[in-house]
Copies of this chain bind each other. A is one copy, B any other.
Amino acid sequence: MPKKRILPYVLLGLINNKGSLSGYQISQEFKNEVGDFWHASHSQIYPELARMKDDGWLMDKIEDTSTFYALTDKGHQILREWMEEPLTDNEELFSLKLYFIKDKSDPLLKVLLNQELAIKYEKYNYLQKRLQAVFTDDEKIKHNFGHYLILTRAIEREQNHIDWLDKQL
C-alpha cells in the first residue's frame, strides 16, 4: 500500500480553522505559523485544491481575482475521520493534529496525548532494548562512541517527551 498522504488533510485543517482560504493565503500560512512544522509550495497547493474540489471535499467561491475554498459536509467528515485515526510513529502528525485543535476542552485533545504517549513508551522501550543489545560492555562503547551518544540521546529525548505528555494529562 502506498504511504498515506498528509498534504490534503493539512489543507482541510487549515481551511477549516479559518472558515475559508484561497490558495495564495494557504501558501502565506506556510510562511508563518504553520511553517514551523509543515510546508508546501504553491505548485503543490493549487492542483491539490482543484483535486479536492473535484472529489467533493471543498467548494469554491470566486471573489475578485481570488478563488476561496471552504469545506463541504464531506470535507468536514473526512477531516474528522483523519483527526480520529490512530497516530503513527510520525513526529509531524502529532504536531499537525494538535495544531488543528483550537479549544482546550476538545475531547480529541486527551485522545491525542494518550495516543502519543503510547507510541513514545513503545519507542522508549525499543531504544532501551537496543542499547542493551548493542552496548554489552565498555569496549563496545569505546569503539562506537558516536553511536552510543545518539542512542543515549534518543532515549533521553523520548523520556523528556513522555514526561511532558504526562504533565499535560
Chain A residues packing against B (C-beta within 8 Å): 33, 36-37, 95, 97-104, 106, 109, 127, 130, 134, 142-147, 149-151, 153-154, 156-157, 160-161, 164, 168
Specify the main secondary structure of chain A where it touches its partner: helix
Given A36-B130, A160-B157, A160-B160, A99 contacting B150 (CB threshold 8 A): yes
B160 touches A37 (CB 8 A): no
Choose among B102, B157, B164 the residue that contacts A153 (Cβ–Cβ < 8 A).
B164
Closest A-B pairs by Cβ, 8 of them: A101-B146, A98-B146, A104-B145, A160-B160, A95-B150, A98-B150, A99-B146, A99-B147
B36 touches A146 (CB 8 A): no
